[in-house]
Amino acid sequence: MRNALDPLFSPFSCKSLELANRFVMSPMTRQFSPDGSPGENVAEYYARRARGDVGLIVTEGVGVDHPSAIGQGSMEEKDIPVLHGEAALNGWREVVDRVHAAGGKIMPQLWHMGALRKDNSPPHPEARSLGPDNMDESDIAAVIAAFARSAANAKAAGFDGIALHGGHGYLLDSFLWAQTNTRDDAWGGDAAARTRFPVEVIKAVREAIGPDLPIAYRISQWKLQDYEGSLAETPDELGAICGALVDAGVDIFDVSTRVFSRPAFAGSDMGLAGWIRKLTGLPTMTVGGIGFDKELAASFTQPTAAVDNLAEVVRRFQAGEFDLVALGRALLMDAEWVVKAREGEPFKPFDISAYSRLD
């Protein structure tokens, strides 16, 4: 037993969500849901992680109820799950029931790909891809309503909260980022003004699910279009963005970084999750490079070794930088990773073929 990890095995609560420990399965696109409906294999995939003592599971990105929400993107995505339609909702109910039976908690990550979706790609090739530069008021209203409908469906299916994908250059993030939001109307402008669209989405989701379920919001500096891109150049700019999201109803920030320990701003070694926690006072979740010596993109092209960097995770956790520790590739490789971490057992190396399997 590794007593040094005891802080990460302490309980956590936020609104109605109560977790046995601080470990979270981070969302990872898996492409195993034909026609948008998760099946038995998906239910077992998530339940296996719950049995492995993962406190909270955040699912892969799930398309909201809008024709242009999902399609082919940078990974030539297909078979992405959705949260509308009888078959898909029945599939998610089974997933949720299996995770709960295994003692875990689970949230869906609601997703709209925005302009990163390739035009004319399935499941709705007739739908044009959307971004800040081509959305009119009716488009904006329709997408906001789609997020709300899907959130209501998630609550009805028994999920323990709602996660919103607001990072990586996808639709919500594209409104926040100055490089992609050049609108000169009420949906664009300075950092605070650019938050209006995600703010309205968050408000609609909150209205749809009520006051008790928590809302987690994924946020990132980096973008799929620009790995070195920055959502905020200064802490003040970051505070203006995150403060508006908090006022709208966010409860937890899922802070996506390529390396969790990389300093977010000059003059401090604090990571992005630490800055957001400091600026908002809300719980944050850190992710990026935990358990491996390469960040995600590099691991697709370079040999990647498993490393035990949990001492640094604990140090920053105890310093108050974050409240939850999200694992991506580590849990993809080994459903028992959390158990092995607690027992001090060796971790599996990264195997790129894991992305085409459902283990």
Among all residues, which ones are annotated catalytic? 170
For 238, residues 6+ apart whose C-beta sits below 8 A from its C-beta are 231, 232, 264, 275, 276, 279
Structure tokens at 161: 């909260």
316, 325 in Cβ contact below 8 A?
no
Other Cβ atoms closer than 10 A to 290: 25
Q: What is the CA radius of gyration of the chain?
A: 19
Closest CA to 289 of 316, 318, 332, 328: 328
Q: What share of the chain is helix, strand, coil (3-state, %, to 5)?
A: 40, 15, 45
**What does the DSSP assignment read for 329-346?**
HHHHH-TTHHHHHHHTPP
Question: Biggest alpha carbon distance in the chain?
Answer: 57
For helices 196-209 and 235-248, the axis angle rounded to 10 degrees is 30
